[in-house]
Amino acid sequence: MAFNLTIWSLLLLFGVIQGLFLCLAILLREKNRNRRNILFALLVLIIIFIQLDHSLRLSELYKTAPDLLYTSDAMWYLIAPLLFFYAKLFIQNNYAFRWYDALHFLPFLGMAIYYWPLVIADAHIKMDILENYKATSDYGLITNLSILMMMLQMLTYITISFYRLKQYESNYKSEFSENQIVHLVWLKNIFRFFLFYFLFEFTFSTLRNFFGFRSTFLDNWSLVVWVIYIYTIAYLILTQAQYIFPKFAAQKLLPADKNQEKDYEDVKNLKTYMQRQKPYLKSDLKLPELAKALGFSTNYLSFIINTHLGVNFYEFINRYRAVEAKNMLVNDDFANFTISGIASEAGFKSKTSFYKFFKKEFKMTPKEYLAKQDNLN
């Protein structure tokens, strides 16, 4: 059987192979298997599965494995919510997934149900559909509308995620270590890629599907862009791993004598200092200031907070402030203080952030906590 292995299909196949190596690089080392890296690996796996499906369609290889045709179409709807949660885990490293987060995947479920009859169809039916498309370049109205919906979903989720990353950077950049800042820059670049890619795809697919514009080059090139993207990420992992996936090379940021036992001792000293000196009461406390007081480098303090306590500096400080405010609420010395006044005394800059962290820490608002204490008394 003769195969039509064009440069486009070969590039996609090379991208599939490179993508698999990238996933293995992320997942095989135990210290890299945090939730954010696993989510990114899943995203890459979805992309390479889509690439494999389309490489079969562009060549004659689909004739040897026709059952694989159209198995990836619904997977496009997974990319947007996975990117959204990838950004969310960067902003909130200890984010607890809730049942209603599954609602983000309803579009994927709907399209999976829609495509299911085609996924399980006989091989010759799939091949007939593909041959018909190659001859007419017409997907049909329903498929064209579903592609349009997918593009709009992508652009909406990516725009929201990028905005939240920018907002997060604006609010807390002064509390980041140098490593965290560079990591954020790379993360924003990842989202810029997706944003510009889907803006292009939205424009091209709308012109193609609804206005009859045809371009084999653009149709193929848009898929090969994914290959370039995967190769770029793979290169960055090899050369600048600590910025893309911090735990790949986190130890390189530390002095040679900072072994694990020393880390635990320093975490203990950090907690003791926080309890005795209460530096968190200072509302404008910054990471470098606390590091200097402890005799640590800024990067090292950021490392032990992130790695051993599982939170970023902002969350770490505000946990102490929330506990302090809780004690103040039932302390007679603060009986004449308003809730906003107590929030300020505890080190919070705003009532909003106080309520947010108090409820996150104690599963109730300050007013609910006071009411509960009144009932107990």
Per residue in 56-110, pLDDT (tens digit) is 777 777 777 788 888 888 998 999 999 899 888 877 777 778 899 999 999 999 9
Is there a contact between 138 and 60 (Cβ–Cβ < 8 Å)?
A: no
Helix axes 76-91, 106-119, angle to 10 degrees: 150
Q: What is 254-376's CATH superfamily? A: Homeodomain-like (1.10.10.60)
Given this model, what pLDDT does residue 377 score?
A: 64
Q: What are phi and psi of 72, to 5 degrees?
A: -105, -5
Taking only the tens place, the pLDDT of each residue in 127-138 is 888 888 767 767
The overall average pLDDT reported for the chain is: 80
The answer to whether residue 178 scores a pLDDT higher than 70 is no
The answer to whether 201 and 158 are in contact (CB under 8 A) is no
Q: Which range (53-57, 78-82, 122-126, 143-147) has the least confidence? A: 53-57
Per cent of the chain over pLDDT 90 is: 15
Tokens of 268: 């203990």
* pLDDT band, residue 278 (cuts 50/70/90): very high
Q: What is the mean pLDDT of residues 149-174?
A: 82
Over residues 348-360, mean pLDDT: 87
50 has pLDDT over 80 = yes
Ranges 20-34, 82-96, 321-335, most confident:
321-335
Q: What is the pLDDT of residue 109?
A: 95
* Location of each CATH 1.20.1070 domain in the chain: 7-251
The answer to which of 186-195, 238-247, 318-327 has the lowest mean pLDDT is 238-247
> Would you state the pLDDT for residue 123?
85
pLDDT reported for residue 105: 95
pLDDT at 113: 93
Q: pLDDT value at position 32?
A: 62
Highest mean pLDDT among 48-62, 169-183, 292-306: 292-306
Output the pLDDT for position 102: 93
pTM of the model: 0.66
- The CATH number assigned to the domain with range 7-251 reads 1.20.1070
Q: Is the pLDDT of residue 257 over 50?
A: no
- CATH 1.10.10.60 domain range(s) in the chain: 254-376
**Mean pLDDT over residues 162-178, rounded?**
71
Average pLDDT over residues 116-122: 90
